[in-house]
A and B are shown apart, each in its own frame.
Chain A
Amino acid sequence: MSRVSFDRAGLLRGARESWPIALGVFTYGLVFGVLARQAGLGAGGALSMSAFVFAGASQFVALDLWGPDLPFAGLFLTTLAVNLRHVLMGAALGPWFSRLTPLQAYGSLFFMNDESWALTLARCSREDGDVDGAYLLGSGLTVYAAWLASTALGHLAVAGLGDPARYSLDFAFTAVFLALLAGLRRGRQDILPWTLAALVAVLTARLMPGKWHILAGALAGSLAAAWLPRFGSVRD
């Protein structure tokens, strides 16, 4: 079994390799800052939301509900629904993160976001040797800095930015996730779970708002991977 460490080298590597995802996050943070101001959320409120919640999708949904009479229960329930995918993501880190100290593991997890998680997982599953658990923290801190800076910038510089689609930056997320997915491919055993995940995700996205499609698709695909007979050779 490989060793799991947690040190400066991993932290710095995670930070260094995260600039492509930070770029995508930055453009979305600008949009969040702009929309927060339009929704009537002040600079302090927008910044503290980005700092303490640090979960883009649920913050956008919160802006939708923002107003003089905040529906607190609805707001918290929606936040839970949008972020429930984190449970699956955290579980997938288990093989490595269960061997860190609680402070290292649960401290790093505050900074877990979709992009840093995917980058960390790609790194963990590629390396046969030692894994550095601080990689997630380094990547997460970089994304965190980009998210805070762009929230502030978007809130202050409301006009003149326009739509990220104008610079094709809206495609950055898709491109990053596609590249990571290409690296995660294990072989024929992936065909069935991935196809099922895609079908269920597309259907759910048609039927339900928010981010339910991520949870629904991933559960369907991964349950199929666990419970249905698998094609081809299995390496383990």
Chain B
Amino acid sequence: MTEAAATALAVAGMAAVTYATRAAGLFLVNRLRLAGRWEPFLQSIPGTVLVSILAPAVLAGGPAEWLAAAATVAASLRFRSLPLALAVGLAVVWVLRRIT
């Protein structure tokens, strides 16, 4: 197989697999008519997915990242603005990394 053909096959396969994962969730919910006990399950997914992304990432940081994380959450709760919370978090981590 030429290099171009191998690359094309790899990209095509990865693309097919990835789109299948993107479509499968909605497809299953539509087909299975999940209800009752599954409703709290589905409603809690956004929060638990974000917590699962964040917990190892935050833990891997140091005091600068932890304080910046706290500042980001505080800014988000106080101002209810994503860009503002992002700016606060980036500014705090930038400053603290230069101090610590």
Contacts and interface: CB of A to CB of B under 8 A. Distances in A.
Contact of A91 (B15, B28, B40, B52): B28
Contacts of B77: 182
Contacts of A173: 57
A110 B75 CA distance: 32
Given A172-B86, A179-B72, A227 B25 contact: no
Contacts of B85: 175, 178-179, 182
A174 B26 contact: no
**Quick one: which of B12, B43, B61, B65 has the most chain A CB within 10 A?**
B43
Contacts, number: 266
A223 interface: yes
Nearest to A17: B82
Nearest to A185: B47
Interface in A182-236: 182-186, 190, 193-194, 197-202, 205, 213-223, 225-227, 230
A95 B42 contact: yes
A12 interface: no
Contacts of A218: 45, 48-49, 51-52
B22 A110 contact: yes
Interface residues of A, number: 94
A121 B15 contact: no
Interface in A21-74: 23, 41-42, 44-45, 48-49, 52-55, 58-59, 62, 68, 70, 72
A84 B21 contact: yes
Interface residues of B, number: 66
Contact of A213 (B10, B52, B72): B52
A226 B72 contact: no
B49 A178 contact: no
A184 B50 contact: yes
A161 interface: no
Contacts of B27: 90
B26 A97 contact: yes
Interface of B: 3, 6-15, 17-19, 21-30, 34, 37-38, 40-59, 61, 65, 68-69, 72-73, 75-77, 80, 82-83, 85-86, 89-90, 93-94, 97
The 6 closest A-B pairs by CB, nearest first: A90-B25, A217-B52, A175-B89, A221-B48, A94-B29, A225-B44
